[in-house]
Amino acid sequence: GIQVEQSPPDLILQEGANSTLRCNFSDSVNNLQWFHQNPWGQLINLFYIPSGTKQNGRLSATTVATERYSLLYISSSQTTDSGVYFCAALEYGNKLVFGAGTILRVKS
């Protein structure tokens, strides 16, 4: 099945800094999603981005499907951005395969 790898596994930022999270996947995908899991465990949808670039406030994401990677950009980070960021690729119609996540800690 498809493999999804995320980097870095852990990241500590000073408030206001920018960061880039990477997601590599081993095969072509029909669907790629980025999620933020907050300290309470809620999994928040950030982007549905099988290809191209999208922006939502301080967050943006780019997926280059032909090269099998996606990037999540966080600008001007805030302490509320802390948590775990997951990317997940749709292996076939209904199975999302998750990466191991990037644990982000933003310090004030």
Partner 1 sequence: SQTIHQWPATLVQPVGSPLSLECTVEGTSNPNLYWYRQAAGRGLQLLFYSVGIGQISSEVPQNLSASRPQDRQFILSSKKLLLSDSGFYLCAWSRGTDQPQHFGDGTRLSIL
The site for partner 1 (CB under 8 A) is made up of 30-31, 33, 35, 40-43, 45, 48, 84, 86, 88, 90, 93-101
Smallest gap, in angstroms, from Cβ of residue 103 to partner 1?
8
Q: CB-wise, 69 or 98, nearer to partner 1?
A: 98
Give the side-chain half-sphere CA count within 13 A for 100: 7
d(CA 101, CA 106): 16
Q: Residues 81, 95, 23, 103: is their CA dihedral positive or negative?
A: positive
Q: CB-wise, 75 or 82, nearer to partner 1?
A: 82
Q: CB-wise, 12 or 100, nearer to partner 1?
A: 100
